[in-house]
Amino acid sequence: MSKYASVSALIALLLLIGLGVHTRSLASSRSAPAPAISTATDASRAVARLDSQIGVATRQAEAHARSAAPLTRLAAFHVARARLTGHYADYLSAERALDQAFERSGPAGGPHLARARLHFTLHRLDDARRELELATPGLDINFHVAKLDALRGEIALASGEYADARQALLRSEAVHATSESAFRLGLLAEQTGAMGEADRLYAQAFERTPASARQPRAAILRRRGLLSLKRGRYDDAETLYRQSDELFSGDFRTLSRRAELLALRGHVQEALGILRRLAEETDEPELMDAVADIYRARGNRRAAEPWFVRASARYEERMALLPEATLGHALRHTLAGEDAGEALELARRNVALRPGGEERILLAQALAKVGQLEQARSVLVEVAASPFQSAELFATQAVVLRALGEGRAASAAQARAEALRPDAMDQLAWLEQASGANSGH
């Protein structure tokens, strides 16, 4: 196998960057309609290609009724489409295709690695671990071992097991160095506060990705842009986002990131217009929340409310379809609302599902919002004692400590937050208001 492997390897990279009624018929694996984005963009053309590939793979699966391979390819195409469109229907179609692949191959010879990867994408870490242990080596043993270690590392990272994650990811890189292995190591570096190292590794992932793979290269540039934004380097972020959109135009994730940056730089009306249009075109609840957040920040809660309500309805639909994949996103949405009790319930479920640093910070925020400040402080102390480091961690500590009346410690935590992200405290103004109201100080 070549250094920069096949379509499946590129799909795996895309899964890193950046998520019905069960029926046995192959026809049920066909896609949901594409979002109403301009047909002149790279993103819309990519969706059209995936639709064609899904059709071909479906026909092959029907023509070769004993083979699991077309169904495994079909699942991969559906997952790639889901990542590009945000449609959960494609994840469900991928699940059905893999279930049918196992029916044809039997448990011993089934595509365990593909199903482990899908479980991980949908935040089902325990299921992913179980499938991973059942995966057997392929013809290229080094490549396969590297894939297994890569996924082990990702699961460990999502579980807050940072030492185990580092060991597994370094093993994967040593056996088979790819754009994927560099990107995963970049994620580890970013989550442990090594922002410069993370950027270097993302740049290395970009260089390892073939020039013809424009969508993965654009996604890496978008990630580097987000990293620059977090570091307060707005000019660098704008350059990277623009390069990403030039390389692969029309991706709503890149467009929404550029709008976020516009808002941070004071171009609020322009940002609002872009986000409203994207929310209408894609029906993405996170974009609806972004619109609501801007209205709230401008003091217009009346205009924010319909967007928040629409997002709530979409999250309810997604929770009914794929609760594990939706939980973390729904939690951030609920934290912005009035029902602090619901936010705390979701936060506890989220930590039980994925006990990483980010998830525990969200739990601390939910605890602070309901006035359980000492419990919030304890959670944050545990996270800070781990290798996980982020501006949100220290900013949340600052808010909680200030609400507890510990001004000096709060100032120290704020300084650490702003060293990582200059506008870190602005991002948590909502929590400062909520926790202050519940603190009694």
3-state SS, residue 246: helix
Q: Classify domain 338-441 at the CATH class level.
A: mainly alpha
- Rounded to 5 degrees, φ, ψ at 293 are -60, -40
Confidence class for position 281, pLDDT limits 50, 70, 90? very high
C-beta of residue 314 within 8 angstroms of C-beta of residue 288: yes
Q: Work out the percent of the chain whose per-residue pLDDT is above 90.
A: 83
Work out the pLDDT band at 39, boundaries 50, 70, 90: low
Q: Is 214 exposed, middle or buried (0-12, 13-18, 19+ CB in 10 A)?
A: middle
Asked whether residue 30 carries a pLDDT value surpassing 60, the answer given is no
Supply the pLDDT for residue 3.
37
- Please compute the mean of the pLDDT values over residues 356-370 and round it to a whole number: 97
pLDDT band (50, 70, 90) for residue 32: very low
User: What confidence score (pLDDT) does residue 436 get?
Assistant: 64
What mean pLDDT comes out for the span 349-378?
A: 97
Diameter of the chain measured on Cα atoms: 71
DSSP line for 368-380: HHTT-HHHHHHHH
Contact 54, 78 (CB under 8 A): yes
pTM above 0.85, yes or no: yes
**Average pLDDT taken over every residue of the chain:** 89
Residue 23 has pLDDT above 80, yes or no: no
DSSP labels, 335-347? HTSS-HHHHHHHH
CA-based nearest residue to 286, from 9, 136, 86, 122:
86
How far apart (Å, rounded) are the C-alpha atoms in residues 180 and 50?
A: 21
3-class DSSP assignment, residue 389: strand
Q: Is residue 441's pLDDT more than 90? A: no
Quickly tell me which residue has 């709008």 as its tokens.
259
Confidence at residue 258, expressed as pLDDT on a 0 to 100 scale = 96
Give the domain ranges of the chain. Answer: 338-441
pLDDT of residue 40: 84
At residue 143 the predicted structure's pLDDT band, cuts being 50, 70 and 90, is: confident
Q: What pLDDT, in 10s, does the model give residues 49-100?
A: 999 999 999 999 999 999 999 999 999 999 999 999 999 999 999 999 999 9
